[in-house]
Amino acid sequence: MEIDLSGKVALVTGGSRGLGREMVLGFARSGADVVIASRHLDRCEEVAEEVRKETGRRALPVACHVGRWDDLEQLTDAAYDEFGHVDVLVNNAGMAPVYPSLVEATEELFDKVVGVNLKGPFRLSALIGARMTAGEGGSMINVSSIGANHPQVHDIPYAAAKAGLNSMTLGLAVALGPKVRVNCVMVGPFLTDISKAWDVESFQAFANHHYPLGRLGLPHEVVGTALYLASDLSSFTTGAIVTVDGGVSVSPPFPTEG
């Protein structure tokens, strides 16, 4: 069964690369118009042009730092000014900088990590959610990480923020229901731009022997879950944390990244 999102508008933060870009393209290929948000407007414009050429769908690129609430208000206004509605919101933007030791983790790093991974999604969900509930409703998808349940020593603030995002998913499902469904995709290790900072060979060798599927994820492999949660196929699904990790979460702890 093909998923048809014709007439829908999907807004994806962190939509210019990695998992976000794949979800943008997946939504557009299924008939949705898209809003592509990230800090780098030029990258958003590149993906927008790719969407237009491949699918013929409308695409709006918007520069936005999700850790800044003023930027999120401008993003919301831009999306509604252009399309009049947003039907799918994907809180995908994230950052996971590491630090040499716990005591060397700076206040600036901590605040940035929490701001992008938790504070921003909360505010954008509130802004878009208010308009969704006043209109025809919609679907929200938060993108979390299995790090929320398996924190590594060099990214504890990131793991804590993602755990907060999981909890926030449940709270928003209650607060915005019944017109808005809110779910979360908790992803495992994917080969995206972020993975360039990993020791991929060691990671892959570990995966070969310990992960049920024996490998790391490819970015397009998140799209099916995102389309399901965005569409009416998941009409009775809200407050769910859906794990997309190749079985990592049922395996031995994964090695430290970096």
* DSSP assigned state of 63: E
Q: What is the dihedral of CA 208, 210, 212, 213, to 10 degrees?
A: -20
Given 16, 30, 144, 145, the catalytic residue: 144
Phi/psi for 234 (5° steps) reads: -105, 35
**Residue whose entry in the numeric block shows the structure tokens 């290929």:** 29
Identify whether 162 is a catalytic site residue.
yes
Q: Is 187 exposed, middle or buried (0-12, 13-18, 19+ CB in 10 A)?
A: buried
Give me the phi and psi of 98, to 5 degrees please.
-105, 170
Pairwise CA distance, residues 143 & 230, whole Å: 13
In the set 119, 158, 231, 234, the catalytic residue is 158
The residue from 16, 80, 162, 251 that is catalytic is 162
Neighbours of 170 (CB within 10 A): 16
Q: Is 80 a catalytic residue?
A: no
Using an 8 Å Cβ cutoff, are 139 and 234 in contact?
yes
Is 144 among the residues known to form the active site? yes
Q: Which residues are catalytic?
A: 144, 158, 162
